[in-house]
Structure 1
Amino acid sequence: DIAHAIELKGLQSHAAEQPQLANINQSELLKDLYAIDQKNRLYSGIDTYLQILKAMRYPAPIAYLISVPGLYHCAKVIYRNIADNRNRQPCNETCTPATTAVNNNLISTYLNKIAPTSKQAATRIAKILVLVAFLQVNVTIVHGLLHRIPNNLEQTPLGQLLFPVSGAITLFSHTLLGITPHALYLHDHFQGFNHILAFTYVDENQQEHWIPFVNKQGRMLAPYWGRVHSMWANIGFTARVVPWRMNKAIKRLSAYWCTQEGLGLENCRLFVKMKKIESPTDWVKDLRAHNLAGSWQNIGFVSWKDNQITIILPDIESL
């Protein structure tokens, strides 16, 4: 205040000296900042700040700008929100410095720092719950509904924008909160699941070898019963085959097994075999034995040449 136009006084110790404040009780006085000008006019809240800026002269343009209708009302709402949520400690000149007990609980200390009042704590908890609800709704709508409806939404411009964004959000929510991005083993999980894929390769002696991922019976081998099985059976090769997802999963698996079997990615060819199975919703006698005994047919191949992959497969849903 280079103009020395402002005199600051504590409300608790000087309010009684001002007739303009006589009818305001102490609890109300603590809620706002008050100002009295040379004409004994009383101002409170955001108006006090505007009068201070004008009295200091050089920041007066800011005060006139904030006074513009619209900006003024926004500033008033913002000030009211801040004022109602700040922590107040009533005191006067007779107060002695308060001693606070040392809180060794780091969590409590942090929570008290970010939310010193009950209202602030409730607001922050509500925001966290809204965030969690949003993350769950994202997974429920996209993976629980849109992925399960037979349509080509993923190939549309909207789908090409929506699904990658949803996938990034899902990765975050799955990592942070464990929100699972697929409806695992619900009543319709196996509905329409009537194909099994396996991979083989032929060595220099024209001997066919099965990649130890899915065996001749069509059973997935250990140790691929965990995340790899989930990636393959719940995302890559599902009851409703999505070609780009299946190709992405095949690319990962073939790159691993071509390297693991010593074939390399410079010149590796894997044959893709398919076996038809049945997955009825009602009990069928000897269904497991029937599915295990089914025959395989070659339907395509996966070729790696100079670290570049080529996948040749028909429309599996039509087979």
Structure 2
Amino acid sequence: MIKRLYNEKISGLGLSIFRIAYTMVLLCEVVQLNYFRHLIFDKIPFIRPAEIDFGIPLRIWMIAIIFIMFGLFTRLATIINYLMTVILVGSITTYEYHMFYAYLGINFLLMFLPISSNLSLDRLLLKYKYSNTRFQYNPPEKISALCYLVPIFVGLAFVYFDSIFYKFTSSYWTVGLGMWYPSSLPFTNYISIPYILDQKYLMLFLGYLTLVFEFIFIFTFFLKKWRIPLLIIGLGLHVGILICYPIPWFGLGMCTIYLLMVPVSWWEKLFKSAQKPALLTFYYDGECPLCNRTKITIQHFDIAKRVDFKTVQYYAEQNELLKDIPTDELLNDIHSVRNGKVYKGLDTYIQVFNAITYLKPLSWILRIPGIYHMGKAVYQYVAKNRNTERCTEENCGYTPPAIPIDEDKVKILQNYTVKDFKISLIKGGLCLVILFQIIVSYNSIKNKGGFENTSAGKEMSKISDAVEKPTKTYLGITHHAVFMDYHFNQYNHIISVIYVDKKGQQVWLPIINNDGTAGSYLHGPTWIKWTFRTTDNIINQDNLKRGIRDFSAFWARMNGVCLKDAKFIIKVKKIDTLPNHWEEGFLKRQMEKPWMDVGVATWHDKKYSIDIKDIESL
């Protein structure tokens, strides 16, 4: 099966669209990490800083991601991206959340996938390298079908495979409350949907649908007849996560992986439908190396084919608007025709940018007085100093281009090629990864029929723990207990922090809003930190005090509040514990619960003290 899928060549367009979408999400995540880096990495934000400046590696990481997004020096950029992922989030503890594991797995795969086969600057560089004035090289656009399936297997199927072991032992997932249960607590809400939560049978349907979907996914995602139903359900579930929960990069990140399940023919039809009749005819010197590179560059970015290219030597005299212009002038200066009007020099490039929809802003900028005149001077300098020697049979003849060989056909042994070696590596790698996941998932199975109490069972548990540590750090292979019973059992409180200024006015820190929902500070890792490591369902007073210290110190610095003398009030909203059955209006009632003051945190000369009641005894 692996060999058949490897030999099945399809367009790499979908993989490149995934590359762009995925790296946009990853970049947003890293930008957020950079913004909160003092909160995450400092011992006490801005007061006791980390021993190294994490802003430097985070910026290096962002640059690498941007290079991957544009497909420039992709292989090197993916290696840097993976190393930064391992270093900065692979071993993170109190801020870790499930999207970090997906980043580790996908970023590892990006180093080996042909993600720059389409829509990339690397592809343009290859065209430059292997093209000449008489031949234009187009790098292969087709890739192995495996390149689509492996990221889905690692980024989605493994997650669902492990998660289902937890869900099948959950007292609320197994009765269809898996969607209603976590969404009915205010602090899990990004955008509240109480009306939808109050539709009992819709909630039960979505809960059971999720359970069945995750169970069958790993056995069906590679089958073409299942692809569209799984795509629709999967996208729907993760768009719901994006809307409802304060983990936007998780929702969006998973949606980008689902883009790999979109039939490639759909992407091809979409791009073909974007192609329209040419708006502009671009006349260039067919024997000028620089002019040919210009043509290659514009064609590379002109996805909609709005610019038509013709050589001066063969086509200029056929155009009524150009036939009276001396040939030397046409050869020495770029000319174009649009709507019956002739443009030359910089004005031609302005028209080119105007014809390509997403480059229109460049045409507007180049028209600005000053910029226009500077651009014209630069253009004239380049045009005057370019190589204008005509390429003829006498002075250069025709040199066949050195096209890169198909490495898959290179023989290692008499009957063993590079392709055979790659297939062997893929088979071995997949078997190893599957073995790792099975070993790790052993400890995800809670009820093993008593086997867990035997000596063999205990030894297996130790092996599972030992394997999980390195595979989690380097490959993202770990447990996926998402929104389980024990996360919310006895969770009967929401804690917020309010700053009191010198005039006595209160400012709610953007941690928890007045209605108990997550504030603007809580997205992804910061939400996990506050919700399950600072507060949690059973409060640890020491963790709570440290969390309030760190969040208040970070907020104060970012908002210009001096910690020489600052006061913060700690409030708690006592809520009902979640029932074991569906209940209409539950979320709304919790959001309307009153707040009570339970403590005061103060900063004097950047020294922190807090007096707070025992939350669990309230």
Give the TM bin, normalised by the shorter chain.
0.3 to 0.5
Query: Which structure is larger by alpha-carbon Rg, 1 or 2?
Result: 1
Query: What's the TM-score, normalizing by structure 1?
Result: 0.47
Query: What's the TM-score, normalizing by structure 2?
Result: 0.26
The higher-RCO structure (CA 8 Å, 6+ apart) is 2
Structure number with higher helix proportion: 2
